[in-house]
Amino acid sequence: MKTKKILLIVLTITAFCFTGCFSSAPKQPAPVPVRFSFAAEGEKAVPITFIQGSKVGVMLVDCDGVSRSSPAAGTYWERDNLFPVGKPLNLRVYVYWDENRFGERRRGIFKCPPLEAGKEYKLWFSGNLKGGKIYLTYSNVTTLNYASSGKPQFDVVYEQIIPPPPK
């Protein structure tokens, strides 16, 4: 009888301590999205959104050899980054596609033409293992539609051919 009372007291204290510990743990706020800028301080910059779908897309690796640093605690980098205007850029990118359930990707340099101040851009990849194209468009383009002749039916700012890999 005495051991049952002691056991009950010990269980009650233990349950109280664990309940207090779990309920008083501070909740972490949701991470905040922020834009990374490759422009120097005071330099005009515009955003480029890198379009990443489930089957095909393009991801940024670095800009003119400069990679994004780790984001500050409680934040993460958005897919659109800020780039300086008025000068050509070398964007190292991965292009990827999902062909026959096997994900493939290739890394290369996209030779971005000088960007215009006040504009917003998107960077798209269209292709597969046999090659394709990277398209730089304005941000108002929502999909890459093609005519039956294969010509793009969207405004293209610049396009770069991705040749098939060497054999």
**Domain residue spans of the chain:** 37-162
Under 8 Å between Cβ of 77 and 61: no
Whole-angstrom CA distances from 66 to 21, 94, 104 are 44, 15, 25
Contact (Cβ atoms closer than 8 angstroms) between residue 126 and residue 144: yes
Burial 56-90 (b: 16+ CB within 10 A, else e): bbbbbeebeeeeeeeeeeeeeeebbbbbbbeeebe
Separation of alpha carbons 57 and 27, rounded Å: 35
Per-residue model confidence (pLDDT) at position 18: 61
Angstrom distance (rounded) from CA 97 to CA 104: 6
The pLDDT profile of the chain, 167 residues, written as one tens digit per residue, is 667 666 566 566 666 666 655 555 677 789 999 999 999 999 999 999 999 988 899 999 999 999 999 999 999 998 889 999 999 999 999 999 987 666 788 899 999 999 999 999 999 999 888 889 999 999 999 998 888 887 888 889 999 999 888 87
Q: What pLDDT is stored for residue 10 in this prediction? A: 59
Helix then strand then coil, in percent of the chain rounded to 5, is: 15, 45, 45
Query: Is the overall model pTM greater than 0.75, yes or no?
Result: yes
Q: Give pLDDT, residue 15.
A: 65
Q: Which two tokens stand for residue 156?
A: 């293209």
Q: Could you give the CA distance from residue 148 to residue 25 in angstroms, rounded to a whole number? A: 60
Both tokens assigned to 75: 């934040």
